[in-house]
Amino acid sequence: MAKKLSIGNKLYLSVLSLFLLFAVAFIVFQQYREKQYKVETLNLRLQDYNNQMHEALVSGGKNNAAWLNDYLTRHAIRDLRVTIINKDGRVIFDNVSTNISHMGNHIRRPEVRQALNKGNGSSVDRNSKTMGHDYFYSATYYPQDKYVIRSALPYNVDLAKSLKTDQHYLWFAAVIILLLTVVLYRFTHRLGSNITKLNEFATKADHDGKIETDELVNFSADELGDTAERIVKLYLKLQRTQKEQNVLKRQLTQNVAHELKTPVASIQGYLETILENPKVDENTRSIFLQRCYAQSKRLTSLLADMSMLNRMDDGAQMLSIEDVDVAELIQTVDKESQFALEQRNMTMTCNIPPHILIRGNRSLLYSIFRNLADNAIAYAGQGKHITLTAQEKDGTWHFTFTDNGVGVAPEHLARLFERFYRVDKGRSRKMGGTGLGLAIVKNAVLVHGGSIQVNNNPNGGLRFDFSLKS
């Protein structure tokens, strides 16, 4: 089976064919133009001779054969033939033929007809019936004297050489064509090589083949090579991202299943105990039902938090946007948290301006401050203090939410915003947390064009620094 031509070779052959066709056409055209120029130059030279001879005839007042032959002798041009023809085509003088009476009528000769019609004419490479070989003719008509003077040179080797085009031009054109062919081959070969490699990469990607990073170095250092390299890098990046997403999805699925299993199992266990022991006393039944209710609330909170995260992941741009007074939201959070603060003997101070207008989603902005407050109340410790400050800079509000509690070990800081991540899993579940609060905080901050960092305070406790675009 014949090997299929690569795109580079097809492109090279196609462009080369067009280029050679153009080059040949241009050379032929240039050869024709150069020959025409030399013919016109020779014609002008003979026309000038005809005019000089006519002027001599007019000024001398003689037109007999002896006088004409004497003039031609004194103004000789090698192998020049001169013929005088009246307007009817009859030859009245010819310096080569001595018997002009036997010369045929010249009215139909091309150069004579042109001269009679246009004033002058020429003819190239026509065989002379009188002399038996080729001549170059140039004729001029003088209407006031009613005759045509025709001068001619034999179309011999010398004349052919003078009319021949310059061969140096052909050699120059050949060298230029050769150089351009080499350049064209190098360009199309490199272009075709890049396209072929990109096609091989696409084929591998389409068949889930293994893509090696080392393949990137094989692309040439040009725009197409750079583009191909970016495509490969983008594919590898997407491939890695997809793998990471698959891992995260599996982890998330496992975490969700684990988080849902605990409250569901608790509810199921309490209800089974009640159903299998219909005579259980009312006090025990009430305790079990209260525990079922508490687990169902935890389950509801978990589902609500997961729903909020999914909304931010899948349709953040579809959330309702409005001008929100964040200072008012913070005051609401402060009031709603007072009971929990009093139970743990904690206090919260909000050092913020009276009005902080941010264009965003009210529900998400509320969740930022509510989850930070709930997290601090749950884990800072008894008798601790929470502080919230805010200041504006270059159209962005910068918030600091800090407590003087126990803080967390440094190795946990980088993972605090992960979904379902808990520093102390057993203690977190006992506190009723879903493990999604800080993940919601981070995503809500990102949706509003901000960023967030968490660090331990030097004197203990956690410090959250985040920004929100106004």
pLDDT single digits (tens) 363-392: 889 889 988 998 899 888 899 999 999 999
The answer to whether residues 373 and 379 touch, using CB atoms and an 8 Å cutoff, is no
Q: Please state, in angstroms and as integers, the Cα–Cα distance from residue 399 to each residue in 190, 312, 375, 457, following that order.
A: 56, 21, 16, 15
CA 192 to centroid of chain Cα atoms: 18
Residues 344-363 have a mean pLDDT of 90
Instruction: Tell me the two tokens of residue 73.
Output: 């002798």
pLDDT of residue 140: 94
pLDDT-derived band at 96 (thresholds 50, 70, 90) equals: confident
pLDDT-derived band at 348 (thresholds 50, 70, 90) equals: very high
The answer to whether residues 424 and 409 touch, using CB atoms and an 8 Å cutoff, is no
The answer to whether residues 211 and 205 touch, using CB atoms and an 8 Å cutoff, is yes
pLDDT of residue 318: 64
pLDDT of 431 higher than 80: no
Instruction: Tell me the two tokens of residue 332.
Output: 């609401």
Of the candidate ranges 35-49, 177-191, 381-395, the one whose mean pLDDT is the lowest: 177-191
Residues 257-266 have a mean pLDDT of 67
pLDDT-derived band at 407 (thresholds 50, 70, 90) equals: confident
pLDDT of 467 higher than 60: yes
What's the mean per-residue pLDDT of the chain? 79
pLDDT-derived band at 427 (thresholds 50, 70, 90) equals: very low
Three-class secondary structure of residue 321 per DSSP: coil
The number of C-alpha atoms within 13 Å of 40 and in the hemisphere containing its C-beta is 6
Identify the helix (H) or strand (E) that includes residue 153.
strand 147-154
What's the N-to-C CA distance of the chain in angstroms? 69
The answer to whether residues 462 and 402 touch, using CB atoms and an 8 Å cutoff, is yes
Q: Name the nearest CA neighbour of 470 among 399, 372, 373, 370.
A: 399
Identify the helix (H) or strand (E) that includes residue 139.
strand 134-142
| More confident call, 251 vs 421 | 421
pLDDT of residue 243: 77
Q: Percent of the chain scored above 90 by pLDDT?
A: 21
Q: Name the nearest CA neighbour of 112 among 91, 95, 93, 98.
A: 91
Residues 264-283 have a mean pLDDT of 82
Indicate if the alpha-carbon torsion angle 267, 270, 275, 280 is positive or negative. negative
In this structure, what DSSP letter does residue 466 have? E
Residues 118-136 have a mean pLDDT of 71
pLDDT of 14 higher than 60: yes
| More confident call, 421 vs 215 | 421
The answer to whether residues 147 and 87 touch, using CB atoms and an 8 Å cutoff, is yes
The answer to whether residues 75 and 102 touch, using CB atoms and an 8 Å cutoff, is no
Of the candidate ranges 211-215, 331-335, 349-353, 457-461, the one whose mean pLDDT is the lowest: 211-215
DSSP-derived secondary structure for 332-389? HHHHHHHHHHHHTT-EEEEE--S--EEEE-HHHHHHHHHHHHHHHHHHS-TT-EEEEE
Q: Name the nearest CA neighbour of 139 among 79, 81, 100, 98.
A: 81
| More confident call, 149 vs 278 | 149
| More confident call, 136 vs 192 | 136
pLDDT of residue 255: 58
pLDDT of residue 266: 76
| More confident call, 67 vs 242 | 67
Q: Please state, in angstroms and as integers, the Cα–Cα distance from residue 60 to each residue in 46, 68, 259, 336, following that order.
A: 21, 10, 129, 133
pLDDT of 1 higher than 50: no
